[in-house]
Amino acid sequence: MVFTHLPRKQDVPVTDPSVVATKYWHRLEDGRVQCDVCPRYCKLHEGQRGFCFVRECRDSAVVLTTYGRSSGYCIDPIEKKPLNHFLPGTPVLSFGTAGCNLGCKFCQNWDISKSREVDTLADSASPDAIVGDVRRNRPVEEISARFHETLAWWIVGVARRCGLRHVALSGGCFQNAWLTRRAVTRLEAAGCTAFTHQRVPANDGGISLGQTVRAAV
């Protein structure tokens, strides 16, 4: 297999910091480029995206379009991860971006994994900054809290920009009680009324109920 390397990030003519060059792809004789990151080996024409949606053919090269755009960022119990009895009781810092190269019909994160908007629930969380925090021995609670504070301020910023006085907080990320409390506090301090879920869950359960009601009317 021949790999064509894009050696330097600055070679890619883009201004969006979330779009970066990738290494593992090669050109095909028919003019397409083949991504070699995963066994799907997507063969892309100019402007096409791969199955994962987050890798795209631009200027005859494969670029990643979600670098540092985190769609989920929280402290999880390690038991939630697919590891068998590894450091039980340890909190782990979890983060990821939109897009996935699998296509499971039962995916509980389908709104993120199959998102066609790479900024779904996303905020800036550059891998460099996260690794830097870890190297400086920052506790995961502090790293995570910084992200959630940013997200809470971002919600207020959007409400202000759009002139909203009433803001409903819904979707899986508002299962996170800490984030919800911070967002509500910040919104109320900014003179907004925040609505949160009371009788149905904020995540897939609530979304499914909404879809059922919508289908019934």
- What is the sign, positive or negative, of the torsion defined by CA atoms of 122, 157, 140, 207? negative
CB of 40 to ligand SF4, least distance (A): 4
Whose CB is nearest to ligand SF4?
A: 50
Stretch that binds ligand SF4, among 36-44, 109-117, 136-144, 188-196 (CB under 6 A): 36-44
Q: How far is Cα 77 from Cα 88, in angstroms, rounded to an integer?
A: 8
By the 8 A CB rule, do 141 and 113 touch? no
Q: How far is Cα 114 from Cα 107, in angstroms, rounded to an integer?
A: 9
Pick from 19, 35, 151, 183: which binds ligand SF4 (CB under 6 A)? Answer: 35
Q: How far is Cα 62 from Cα 93, in angstroms, rounded to an integer?
A: 29
CB of 99 to ligand SF4, least distance (A): 8
| β strands within the chain, DSSP E | 20-21, 25-27, 33-35, 43-44, 55-58, 61-64, 69-70, 72-77, 91-96, 123-124, 166-168, 193-195
Pick from 41, 108, 127, 188: which binds ligand SF4 (CB under 6 A)? Answer: 41
Looking only at Cα atoms, what is the longest distance across the chain? Answer: 60
**What number of chain residues touch ligand SF4 (CB under 6 A)?**
11
Q: In the range 68-127, which residues lie near ligand SF4 by CB under 6 A?
A: 101
Could you say which DSSP state residue 9 is in? Answer: G
43 versus 197: smaller Cβ distance to ligand SF4: 43
Tokens standing for 142? 């502090």
**What binding mask, one character per residue, do residues 3-32 give for ligand SF4 by CB under 6 A, x or -?**
------------------------------
Stretch that binds ligand SF4, among 34-42, 74-82, 144-152, 198-206 (CB under 6 A): 34-42
51 lies in the binding site for ligand SF4 (CB under 6 A):
yes
**Would you tell me how many other CB atoms lie within 10 Å of the CB of residue 178?**
15
Pick from 21, 52, 122, 130: which binds ligand SF4 (CB under 6 A)? Answer: 52
30 versus 142: smaller Cβ distance to ligand SF4: 30
Contact positions vs ligand SF4 (CB under 6 A): 35, 37-38, 40-42, 50-52, 55, 101
